[in-house]
A and B are shown apart, each in its own frame.
Chain A
């Protein structure tokens, strides 16, 4: 038996789900009004609308397909629209073995994404080279691009991918709205040789 509740007991549709609301950001509320910070609102919007760009090169990609499909349903988090143009996406999901020749391509794709952008490294191969400790495989994509969250596993189950995704969401929701202008961010990118 698989350790997934949905498999055994079909989940009943609930009226609460249909109008699923997100947690309101902290702020002051009174009769008929609610105030909060601009950055919180933008963070909330960003967090719930992460468009992933799947960069799937091998087996972990299959697991991502399961994550997108109706059983695990990544669209609950607003990540329904998988873009295949780096310009329109926010989250680069690297899934699979990245060989050394693929490294520059990955970097190119990362550079083409418009800020704000995040990177999720899915699976042992993308995070550390995994079982492929050979001359041809990049030992972790963090050698070419900055990574925000690593998901371990070979391959990680869809639950793990979703967990990684939710961690990214936490990051995004709390980040300052103009992280891309901060010194720290620039220093991070410079350490990868990105202007």
Chain B
């Protein structure tokens, strides 16, 4: 009973932690570019400000899809924290992105269409690796249950290549350079969420924080029962992502797909074969 309460509190706190991660990331990024950078609490200022903007919506379905995007990713994070099914988590996450894409396509704005299209392309790029990751975790562990993964030996030692593949696709997932085609600010003015505003944009904005939690929780899984290792992996991934984001330029979406299919996917697949035949 008590553990359920603790887990529920963790789920409720997830957006807060995500916001903090986002704030720290902005600061780190600024420092890497030799500037001061915003306040660490900046995401929360944005949050309060957005809450009080006047309501402007394109049409109600559009707004609804945005809010559902937020809710479904929160549910995905909740299942992840409660130690549910890994496949369920991955597909809930896919569902949330699909809702965002539908939202993007439901307006008449051409930029919104472009952004949604590119988000769909980036799903094509990262989703296979996530699914292969889940399958190889099953092959190693005999279960999709996150609670049993967390209780077992560190996955990192058994499937290092999968972890590398995950690292390779994380920039696509989090829309970081060099694979940030989905929200390329200079080209397509911001991605599928371009038509959202006020409180609905807030939902999208907060969903982004939850995305961080989702990704870092996935990374944490690789530590297994060794929580220290998991935390180390999370910190390492954070530094890696930011360093990569600041030191590389955006590539074409075709190059991104090629990279994902010819580099990341084979790496994950080789690891799957090795675990299957061991």
Residues of A within 8 A of B (CB): 13, 17-22, 41-42, 44-46, 48-49, 51, 70-71, 73, 75-78, 80-85, 87-88, 90, 114-116, 177, 180
Contact = CB atoms under 8 A, between A and B. Distances in A.
A21 B189 CA distance: 31
Determine chain A's interface SS by DSSP, over half rule: loop
B232 interface: no
Contacts of A49: 42, 45-46, 48-49
Given A85-B111, A87-B195, 9 more contacts: A18-B27, A46-B48, A46-B49, A46-B52, A70-B33, A70-B34, A73-B37, A84-B185, A180-B54
B31 A80 contact: no
Interface stretch (B3-11, B171-179, B196-204, B247-255): B196-204
Interface in B46-63: 46-49, 52-56
B230 to A, nearest CB: 26
Contacts of A70: 33-35
For the complex of A and B, 10 pairs with smallest distance between CB atoms: A87-B197, A45-B48, A70-B35, A49-B45, A73-B35, A84-B189, A115-B54, A45-B45, A49-B49, A114-B54
A17 B26 CA distance: 14
B30 interface: yes
Contact of A75 (B38, B40, B52, B56): B38
Given A85-B190, A85-B197, A88-B197, A48 B52 contact: no
Contacts of A177: 52
26 contacts: A13-B31, A18-B40, A22-B39, A41-B48, A45-B45, A45-B46, A46-B48, A46-B49, A49-B49, A73-B30, A73-B37, A75-B30, A75-B36, A75-B37, A75-B38, A76-B36, A76-B37, A80-B26, A82-B185, A84-B189, A85-B194, A90-B49, A90-B53, A114-B53, A114-B198, A177-B52
Contacts, number: 100
Contacts of B26: 75, 80
B189 A88 contact: no
A80 B46 CA distance: 11
Interface residues of B, number: 34
Contact of B36 (A17, A22, A81): A17
Nearest to B56: A114
Contacts of B111: 85
A114 B197 contact: yes
Nearest to A86: B197
A42 to B, nearest CB: 6
Nearest to A116: B53
With most chain A CB atoms within 10 A of its CB, the pick from B35, B36, B47, B111 is B36
Contact of B38 (A42, A71, A76, A116): A76
Nearest to A180: B54
A130 B107 CA distance: 40
Contacts of A41: 48
Nearest to B33: A70
B113 to A, nearest CB: 14
Contacts of A84: 185, 189-190, 194
Interface string B221-244: 000000000000000000000000
A70 B45 CA distance: 22
Given A85-B194, A85-B197, A114-B197, A45 B49 contact: yes
A80 B38 contact: yes
Contacts of A21: 39
A183 B47 CA distance: 28
A6 to B, nearest CB: 11
A48 B39 contact: yes
Contacts of B37: 73, 75-76, 80
B54 A48 contact: no
Nearest to B186: A84
B39 A73 contact: no
